[in-house]
A and B are shown apart, each in its own frame.
Chain A
Amino acid sequence: MAYYNEKIETMPKGELAKLQYQELKKLVTRLYDSSAFYHKKMDETGVKPADITSITDITKLPFMKKTDLRDNYPDGLVCVPHDDLVRYHVSSGTTGKPTVVAYTQNDIDLWSECVARSLVSCGIGKKDVLQVCYGYGLFTGGLGLHYGGEKVGATVIPASTGNSERQIELIQDLKTTVIACTPSYFVHLIDVAKKMGVDFKKDTLLRTAILGAEPWTDAMRRYIYAESGVTAHNIFGTSEISGPMFTDCSELNGMHICGDIAYTEIIDPKTGEQLPPGEKGELTITVLKKEAIPMIRYRIGDITSIIEGDCACGRTSPRIDRLQGRVDDMLIIRGINVFPSAIEHALLKNPYLTSHFMIEVSRTGPLDDMLVKVELKPDAMTDSITGLMEMQMRTERALRDALNVSAKIELCPPNSLPRFEGKAKRVIDHRVI
Chain B
Amino acid sequence: MTEKYIIKQLSIFSENKAGKLAAIAKIFLDTGVSIQAFNIAEANNFGVVRAIVDKPEVAFNEFAKQNYALQYTDVLAIKMKDVPGGLYEVANLLGGLGINIEYAYAFRSGEYGALIVKVTNPREAALKIVEAGIELLPAKDYNF
- A residues with a Cβ closer than 8 A to B are 376-385, 388-389, 392, 410-416
Contact = CB atoms under 8 A, between A and B. Distances in A.
A315 to B, nearest CB: 48
B99 interface: no
A381 B67 CA distance: 12
Interface centre among A380, A389, A392, A411 (most CB of B within 10 A): A411
Contacts of B71: 381-383
Contacts of B9: 383
Contact of B118 (A383, A414, A416): A383
B46 interface: yes
B50 interface: yes
Contacts, number: 56
A212 to B, nearest CB: 35
A80 B42 CA distance: 70
Contacts of A415: 67
A381 B48 CA distance: 10
B15 A378 contact: no
Contact of B13 (A389, A392, A410, A413): A413
A416 B46 CA distance: 13
B68 interface: yes
B48 A388 contact: yes
Given A413-B13, A413-B15, A381 B43 contact: no
Contact of B11 (A383, A411, A416): A383
A412 B15 contact: yes
A410 B118 CA distance: 26
Interface of B: 9, 11, 13-15, 41-46, 48, 50, 64, 67-71, 73, 102, 118
7 pairs of A and B residues whose beta carbons are closest in the complex: A383-B11, A415-B67, A381-B69, A383-B73, A378-B69, A414-B67, A381-B71
A384 B71 CA distance: 11
A380 B70 CA distance: 9
Contact of A416 (B15, B50, B73, B102): B15
Nearest to B47: A385
Given A378-B70, A383-B11, A392-B44, 9 more contacts: A378-B67, A378-B68, A378-B69, A381-B13, A382-B71, A383-B73, A388-B13, A392-B43, A415-B67
Nearest to B64: A378
A381 B70 contact: yes
A383 B69 contact: no
Contacts of A383: 9, 11, 48, 50, 71, 73, 118
Given A381-B71, A388-B43, A413 B48 contact: no
A389 B43 contact: yes
6 contacts: A385-B42, A389-B44, A410-B45, A413-B15, A413-B67, A414-B69
Contacts of A392: 43-44
Contacts of A381: 11, 13, 69-71
Interface centre among B11, B13, B70, B102 (most CB of A within 10 A): B13
Interface centre among A377, A379, A384, A415 (most CB of B within 10 A): A384
B46 to A, nearest CB: 5
Given A376-B69, A414-B68, A385 B13 contact: no
Contacts of A414: 67-69
Contacts of B70: 378, 381
Majority-rule SS of A interface residues: mixed
A82 B44 CA distance: 67
Contacts of A412: 15, 46
Nearest to B46: A411
A5 to B, nearest CB: 55
A396 B134 CA distance: 45
Contact of A413 (B44, B64, B69): B69
Nearest to B75: A383
A385 B48 contact: yes
A376 B41 contact: no
Nearest to B63: A378
A388 B67 contact: no
B43 A376 contact: no
Contacts of A411: 13, 45-46
A39 to B, nearest CB: 58
Contact of A385 (B43, B67, B68, B69): B43
A417 to B, nearest CB: 11
Contacts of B44: 389, 392, 410
A309 B73 CA distance: 52
A413 B68 contact: yes
Contacts of A413: 13-15, 67-69
A383 B9 CA distance: 10
A414 B69 CA distance: 6
Contact of B41 (A377, A385, A416): A385
A379 B13 CA distance: 11
B48 A380 contact: no
A56 B15 CA distance: 54
Nearest to A415: B67
B67 A376 contact: no
A269 to B, nearest CB: 32
A410 B9 CA distance: 25
Interface centre among A379, A384, A412, A413 (most CB of B within 10 A): A413
B34 to A, nearest CB: 21
